[in-house]
Amino acid sequence: MTMILRANAVIMRFVRRKLWDPIMALAKQGFTPHQLALTITLGSGFGMIPFIGLTTILCTFWALRLRLNVAFTILIGYLMQPFQLALYVPFVDLGQTIFPVTPIPFSLEKLMAMFQIDWVNALQQVWFANLLGIFAWMLCFVPFGLAVYFSSRKVLHRVLPVPEVA
């Protein structure tokens, strides 16, 4: 039993030294709680957009534009990818519900049948449904982003040290 506890302690020290501490150092690189909260908000929001591959572009663009930590923004966006995959269909369904369109089926058999009958039309329908999902994501991102920003900013004001003015 003590051998297992020792091995567990060694693993925890390794994870902390090689993973956790570098990530925290990256996160705290001279940024204010406001900037770090904005980084967390944008990374988590863009990480859930229902368009695979757009996360990196959006995170990089807005982090550079707002002078935030680009690497940490992208890291948070990548950590949100399981949520992106899990929320893809609900966002597309919500977008198809908001607008009066004929919803596309999300079963594998029906999608394969659509592509076998007319793949150009099927691609257009899936593309349009994806755009509706992005619109639904934008509607959900505003309250989500505000909640994440203000809650993380409040926590970060308590956790991060106050920068010294020279």
Instruction: Check: CB of residue 73 under 8 Å from CB of residue 63.
Output: yes
Round to whole Å and give the CA distance between 17 and 149.
Answer: 28
Question: Is 18 inside a domain boundary?
Answer: no
Domain carrying residue 97: 27-159
Q: How many domains does the chain have?
A: 1
Give CA–CA dist 153/144, Å, rounded.
14
- Is 133 within a domain? yes
Does some domain include residue 3? no
Residue 4 inside a domain? The answer is: no
Intra-chain end-to-end CA distance of the chain, in Å: 53
| pLDDT tens digits for range 96-126 | 999 888 888 777 888 888 889 998 998 898 8
In a domain, 44, yes or no: yes
Entry pTM: 0.77
- Which sign does the torsion angle of CA 55, 61, 67, 70 carry? positive
Structural domain contains residue 12: no
Spatial distance between the Cα atoms of 38 and 8, rounded to a whole number of angstroms? 35
Please return the burial class of 42, using the count of CB atoms within 10 Å of its CB with bins 0-12, 13-18 and 19+: buried
Looking at residue 65, its pLDDT comes to: 95
The answer to whether residue 65 is domain-embedded is yes
Position 149 pLDDT exceeds 90: yes
Categorize the per-residue pLDDT at 42 as very low, low, confident or very high, splitting at 50, 70 and 90. Answer: very high
Question: Closest Cα to residue 89, out of 150, 48, 46, 34?
Answer: 48
**106 part of a folded domain:** yes
Identity at 65, one-letter amino acid code: R
Nearest partner of 91 among 119, 55, 133, judged by Cα: 133
